[in-house]
Amino acid sequence: IQRSHHIGRLRLPSLCEMAEAFDKLACHVVAGFTGTTCVSATNAPLARARSGPLHDRAHQGTELDRVQRLWRGQRVRSWIAALTSATIAVQRVHRGVVARKLAAARRAARARREARAIYHYHATLAQRTFRGFYSRRYRHDFRARRRYVEAVVATGE
């Protein structure tokens, strides 16, 4: 047993329903081309109506054909409208998924940039502190300079 499926408000027919609809359509097409009546099990009422005592092929057949044509056209138009709305729904959902992925990627890139900026800020602070310490300790030694100035003053007197 095949089940029919639903997409939003659209009801997709099962394989059995599609096969029955195809059989009906094929039977009516063959009957229209050959001028015979359709005697399939699914169309027995129509076949009985066409073979009844009040059957006038010139008038009643064309009216039945017209009603069938209008009914099938309406069914096809409604099916196309349902497929169009289902297609739009699928496209809308797909675009939403793609946009959410893109937004997540942009958020992740921004978070990486912010983390890198924080890392560089703290690295700069550490380097500044160390370079100041090293410079004062080994390059611009205040005590050594004071001893040098005292030695120059002492030798100059």
The residue ranking higher by pLDDT, 149 or 13, is: 149
Q: Indicate the residue type of 12.
A: L
Averaged pLDDT of the chain: 77
* CA distances in angstroms from 39 to 42, 47, 57, 83, listed in the order given: 8, 6, 16, 32
pLDDT at 2: 46
**0.75 cut: is pTM over it?**
no
Q: What is the mean pLDDT of residues 9-23?
A: 64
Cα 141 to Cα 134: distance, rounded to the nearest angstrom = 10
Cα 17 to Cα 35: distance, rounded to the nearest angstrom = 26
pLDDT exceeds 50 at position 149: yes
- Alpha-carbon torsion angle 37, 40, 41, 47, nearest 10: -10
